[in-house]
Amino acid sequence: MTVKFINAKEAASMIPDGSTVAIDAFISFCLADDILGEIESRFVREGHPSSLSVVNVAGIGGDGKDRGINHFAHKGLMRRFLCSNLSLANKIYPLITEDAFPCFMIPQGVLSHMMRAIASGKPGIITEVGMKTFVDPRIDGGCINDAAKACDERPVQLIQLNGSDCLFYPAFSIDIAIIKGSKADKKGNISLEKEAMHLEQLEMATAARNSGGIVMVQVDEIVEHGTIHPQQVTVPSTLVDYVILGSPGNTGQHFIEGLPDPIDSWCGDEKIQLEEIKSIPLSPEKIICRRGVFEIKEDSFINLGIGVPMNVSSILNEEGLIEKVSASIESGVMGGVPAPGIATGAAYNPDAILKQPDMFDFYDGGGIDYACLGSAEIDMHGNVNVSRFAGKVPGPGGFINITQGAKNICFMGTFTAGKSDIRIEDGKLNIVKDGPHIKFREHVDHITFSGENSLDKVKQHVIYITERAVFALLPEGLTLIEIAPGADLEKDILGKMDFTPVISKDLRLMDERLFRPEKMGISLKK
């Protein structure tokens, strides 16, 4: 078929009610926001398209306001929602809690690989990823709300293979694929050279095409046929039905306020001096990240999660150690200095930008030496919750894939949650006012990481780092191994937990250098 060039309004008009729509993006990156905005406008205007089954691989909250999946925050627009993450999808949360539609979450890597499975006509994904977490059908089966629990269309099944329990994630057909590229030539070949990451645009387009569906691609620029080097063509015209030239305000590399667009060092078009990257000020978060660096060996392959752990890259850079490790992000970015905050997924000066399903191949196979990840709740069994807490459902993203595949894990987060006044004075911690919310719970509300699975099956080295205490996952339970100078064991630690941990016989003080404003002057483990 000849590729047709249309506008976003025309694209939205082609989506039938009841379609299964797959949308590719990563937060605000690779986001076809013109098309999503016109789908919203048409629904508000006409009540169509309605009853969509929507699938997105990573979180696509856009700018945390109106972009991305927030465009779909209208009752009746979605019939079913399958995703891995809802970070920044602030308008969607109320609909989920009100049971406006069934919402399911499964691991990001599984969804990324699912695009490839659908494309190749496989029945689905068989894996151990998700075992003993909320995704396991013996626990919640990926159900996020009551509407999901009442739904017969479950995204995961428990099966036995060669005498062992496994999870089976069934494949499905895709009617519409919505993806984003940098350029399209007049034949419809798509390149991604200005994007900060390459996701699963090819796999999703192939999945839709082989499902008998259609592929819509929003691009920044249309160029003459033959002007895109063949090695830069990520999605060939054979897989493209419609090309939409994005408007200046709704297209580009990202939607992050206050930053230039594009950032050329994110897509590899330029290199910046590492000295230009600012260090973070001394704070509880910096203490946590510094302590995490103590665990990393030279020449390790590491993954940095969203939130506090992203600043590990800043510490490594500050200490002149960033080039002694290979940092990675599940988006497919390898090397360089991972960008923090809402820019998570990109990196300054990346060594390579792989496709996301290729990165998850490496992760799932055990390629991560050290994973530094966040923690919203931790319990006495070492279970960690990052997917449902405080009335929100951010979801696991790639957390489950990463934690089940990594050899060593550092969970990172402040000891309590909420507004606090914690000062760092003279190499000691001074807890003037603690956060009001306890994070160390007897039982977590949602199991995103299973301590039992880690000990019994995966056999990892796992520690839990806060600004005032460090714990280890041991067979006898969550074990306190370090406390901060200035912190009181009874008042500041045990008194702020819902359970009493095992206390190591070798309990020691955290390194005083963590609490000093100057560089620590450390070397990585050999």
Tens of pLDDT, residues 472-488 = 999 999 999 999 999 99
* % of the chain residues with pLDDT over 70: 100
**Neighbour count for residue 503 (Cβ, 10 Å):** 14
Query: How does pLDDT run across 96-132, given as a tens digit for each residue?
Result: 999 999 999 999 999 999 999 999 999 999 999 999 9
Given 40, 318, 330, 482, the catalytic residue: 330
Average of per-residue pLDDT values in the chain: 95
In this prediction, residues 28-33 reach a mean pLDDT of 96
Q: What angle do CA 301, 304, 305 make, to 5 degrees?
A: 145
Q: What band does 456 get if pLDDT is binned at 50, 70 and 90?
A: confident
pLDDT above 90 for 489: yes
The structure's pTM equals 0.94
CA dihedral angle for residue 57, residue 28, residue 53, residue 141, rounded to 10 degrees: 40
In this model, does residue 381 exceed pLDDT 80? yes
CB 53 within 8 A of CB 19: yes
Q: What is d(CA 378, CA 480) in angstroms, rounded to the nearest whole number?
A: 13
Mean pLDDT, to the nearest integer, of 32-47? 98
Phi and psi at residue 356, to the nearest 5°? -60, -45
Question: In this prediction, what percent of the chain has a pLDDT beyond 90?
Answer: 88
Residue 274's pLDDT band (boundaries 50, 70, 90)?
confident
CA distances from 19 to 75, 102, 279, 490 (A): 16, 16, 47, 57
Give backbone dihedrals phi and psi of 396, rounded to 5 degrees, phi first: -85, -20
259-276 burial: b if 16+ Cβ within 10 Å, else e: eeebbebbbbeeeeeeee
Q: Does the structure show a pLDDT above 80 at 458?
A: no
Q: Are strands 242-245 and 384-385 parallel, antiparallel or unpaired?
A: unpaired
Among residues 397, 220, 176, 432, which one has the least CA distance to residue 303? 397
Q: Which CATH class is domain 4-247?
A: alpha beta
Q: Which two tokens stand for residue 168?
A: 């089976």
Q: What is the pLDDT of residue 526?
A: 83
Q: Dihedral sign for Cα 464, 395, 32, 179, please.
A: positive
pLDDT of 525: 86
What residue ranges do the domains of the chain occupy? Answer: 4-247, 278-515
> Strand order in 377-379's β-sheet?
384-385, 377-379, 440-441
Beta bridge partners of 303: 328, 371
pLDDT at residue 107, rounded to an integer: 98
The SS3 call for residue 205 is: helix
Instruction: Tell me the mean pLDDT in the region 497-513.
Output: 97
Task: Round to whole Å and give the CA distance between 322 and 279.
Answer: 13
The reply to whether 298 belongs to the active site is: no
Listing DSSP states for 73-132 in one string gives -STTTEEEEEES--TT-TTTHHHHHTTSS-EEE--HHHHHHHHHHHHTT--EEEESTTTT
Q: Record the tokens describing residue 451, joined without a space.
A: 């301590």
Contact of 170 with 123, CB cutoff 8 Å: yes
Show the CA angle centred on residue 66, arms to residues 60 and 67, nearest 5°. Answer: 35
Q: Determine the Cα–Cα distance for residues 380 and 126; give it in Å rounded to an integer.
A: 30
Q: Do domains 4-247 and 278-515 have the same CATH topology?
A: yes
110, β-bridge pairs = none
Q: Please check whether residue 84 is in contact with residue 397, taking contact to mean a CB–CB distance below 8 angstroms.
A: yes
The DSSP bridge partners found for residue 83 are 105
Task: Over range 234-248, report the average pLDDT.
Answer: 97
Is residue 386 within 8 A of residue 439, CB to CB? The reply is: no
Residue 367 pLDDT > 90: yes
Distance CA 130, CA 404 (A): 8
Q: How confident is the model at residue 457 (pLDDT cuts 50, 70, 90)?
A: confident
Q: Which residues contact 258 (CB under 8 A, 6 or more apart)?
A: none
Q: Give me the pLDDT at residue 350, please.
A: 95
Question: Is the CB of residue 400 less than 8 Å from the CB of residue 135?
Answer: yes
Fold of the 278-515 domain: Glutaconate Coenzyme A-transferase (3.40.1080)
Statement: residue 459 has pLDDT above 90: no
Chain segment 306-360, per-residue pLDDT in tens: 888 988 988 999 999 999 999 899 999 999 888 888 899 999 999 999 999 999 9
Region 384-412 average pLDDT: 93
Query: Would you state the pLDDT for residue 306?
Result: 83
